[in-house]
Amino acid sequence: MHEASVVEALIKKAEKFASENKAQKILKISVVAGETTGYMEEALQHYFSVLSKDTILENVKLSITMVKPRLECKSCGDSFERKRFSFDCPKCGKPGQMTDFGTEFYIDNMEIEG
Ligand SMILES: [Zn+2]
């Protein structure tokens, strides 16, 4: 399960951020996950609750925003959301190209109490 290692890295990053900012407590953590990563929201939540035990992140609310992959059409310049099994531009029908939208995974926001 690749979610386990990505959540582990996420927790390490959050712990580092908390100690750098002398936070006593983390109230909430928000992450953005692109759907192209293949990470499942439920799996991320599951590993977060398991792996955050005995860390400063235990019982912290994890909020996940999933980002739909976006494609770009080189022919007409349109940018559109990828449909299942289709890469074609809805405007001109030419195949679109992948963009970085949908491949991201990062901490968007953290609420801390110092
Ligand atoms: Zn097009």
Domains of the chain: 2-68+100-113 (3.30.2320.50)
Q: What is the pLDDT of residue 114?
A: 80
Q: What is the pLDDT of residue 84?
A: 80
Q: What is the pLDDT of residue 1?
A: 58
Neighbours of ion ligand 1 (CB under 5 A): 73, 75-76, 78, 89, 91-92
| pLDDT above 80: residue 28 | yes
CA of 92 to the centre of ligand 1 (A): 4
CA of 51 to the centre of ligand 1 (A): 44
- Kindly state the average pLDDT of the residues 37-58: 96
CA of 67 to the centre of ligand 1 (A): 22
Give the strand order in the sheet containing 25-34.
61-67, 25-34, 105-113
* pTM for this entry: 0.83
CA of 102 to the centre of ligand 1 (A): 19
